[in-house]
């Protein structure tokens, strides 16, 4: 998840703990989200909004003979992404600073475009998708992945947990984004002029029989993400400390042995005629 339009307003923040969360998330989720994304030998792939490279590492390793151009608006994120790609021994990635609203590429200059956890932060996702679609050569593809906080389901149910999640949804909306964007990929891509769109949900189901997901997703991805907006939510007057903390505890409660947690990501693949 990277900030392409307004890094100062980026809801998740840029601190170390957040970086760790993003990488934990990528490790836990990468199979679910990316197992069916493979780019052919020699193909030119644009990753729009690579952030610190959380998805890049998976994508580039899965398609070692494809060439990835990964852009982001944040030099600090790009520096981290470069370092991690080098540490992972990847030789098929180039990183470049760029604003998604003014990308320095010619029309049809990529075989494939990939954009993941970026549209949720944009005030004009349709405009961005229209731009990205123009960069794909005829016969190429665009892949977009987003979460949707409206998909959260858990047991035990808790109004306090819903309140804490809603604080993040509201903060993201105030920053011009949309934490409920996943379900909208199909109509957004249609509005951007895409003809052949195929959306597939990626459902994260977590109960005590899946301890790696309890720890990696319920605790370290979702609950940690909500916890991460605590100060901003209190500062913005959306909640009080005690109400927010009760919500976080209720989310942690869903990670116990009789708890259940569910979240859905949406993946859209567009074939450009």
Question: Where do contacts with a second copy occur on this chain (CB under 8 A)?
Answer: 148, 150-151, 153-155, 157, 180, 183-184, 186-187, 190-191, 197-201, 203, 205, 207-209, 257-260, 262, 264
81: helix, coil or strand?
A: helix
Least Å distance, CB 154 to a second copy, is: 7
Rounded Cα–Cα distance for residues 135 and 220 (Å): 35
Strand partners, 264: 148, 203
Rounded Cα–Cα distance for residues 19 and 21 (Å): 5
Least Å distance, CB 147 to a second copy, is: 12
Nearer to a second copy, 231 or 256 (CB): 256
Nearer to a second copy, 90 or 169 (CB): 169
Nearer to a second copy, 97 or 205 (CB): 205
Its sign, for the CA torsion 69, 74, 80, 83, is positive
Nearer to a second copy, 51 or 182 (CB): 182
Ramachandran class of 108: left when φ > 0, alpha when ψ lies in -120 to 50, beta otherwise: left
Nearer to a second copy, 207 or 232 (CB): 207
Rounded Cα–Cα distance for residues 168 and 178 (Å): 10
Under 8 Å between Cβ of 113 and 45: yes
Rounded Cα–Cα distance for residues 57 and 154 (Å): 30
Least Å distance, CB 239 to a second copy, is: 21
Least Å distance, CB 176 to a second copy, is: 18
Rounded Cα–Cα distance for residues 57 and 62 (Å): 9
Phi, psi torsion values for 17, nearest 5 degrees:
-60, -40
Least Å distance, CB 179 to a second copy, is: 12
Least Å distance, CB 226 to a second copy, is: 18
Nearer to a second copy, 14 or 186 (CB): 186
Task: Report the candidate in 78, 84, 110 with the shortest Cα–Cα distance to residue 97.
Answer: 78
């Amino acid at each position: 998840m990277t900030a392409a339009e307004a890094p100062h307003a980026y809801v998740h923040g840029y601190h170390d703990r957040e970086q760790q969360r993003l990488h934990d998330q990528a490790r836990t989720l990468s199979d679910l989200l990316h197992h069916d994304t493979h780019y052919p030998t020699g193909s030119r792939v644009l990753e729009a909004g690579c952030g610190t490279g959380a998805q890049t590492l998976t994508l580039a390793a899965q398609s070692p003979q494809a060439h990835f151009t990964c852009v982001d608006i944040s030099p600090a994120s790009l520096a981290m992404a470069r370092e991690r790609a080098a540490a992972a021994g990847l030789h098929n990635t180039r990183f470049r600073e760029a604003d998604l609203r003014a990308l320095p590429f010619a029309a049809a200059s990529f075989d494939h475009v990939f954009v993941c956890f970026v549209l949720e932060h944009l005030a004009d996702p349709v405009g961005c998708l229209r731009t990205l679609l123009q960069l794909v050569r005829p016969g190429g593809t665009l892949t977009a992945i987003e979460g949707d906080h409206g998909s959260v389901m858990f047991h035990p149910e808790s109004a306090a947990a819903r309140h804490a999640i809603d604080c993040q949804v509201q903060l993201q909306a105030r920053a011009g984004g949309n934490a409920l964007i996943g379900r909208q990929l199909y109509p957004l891509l249609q509005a951007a002029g895409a003809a052949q769109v195929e959306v597939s949900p990626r459902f994260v189901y977590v109960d005590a029989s899946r301890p790696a997901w309890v720890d990696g997703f319920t605790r370290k991805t979702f609950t940690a993400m909500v916890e991460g907006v605590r100060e901003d939510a209190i500062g913005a007057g959306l909640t009080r400390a005690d109400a927010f903390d009760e919500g976080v505890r209720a989310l942690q409660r869903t990670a116990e042995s009789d708890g259940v947690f569910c979240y859905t990501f949406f993946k859209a693949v567009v074939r450009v005629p």
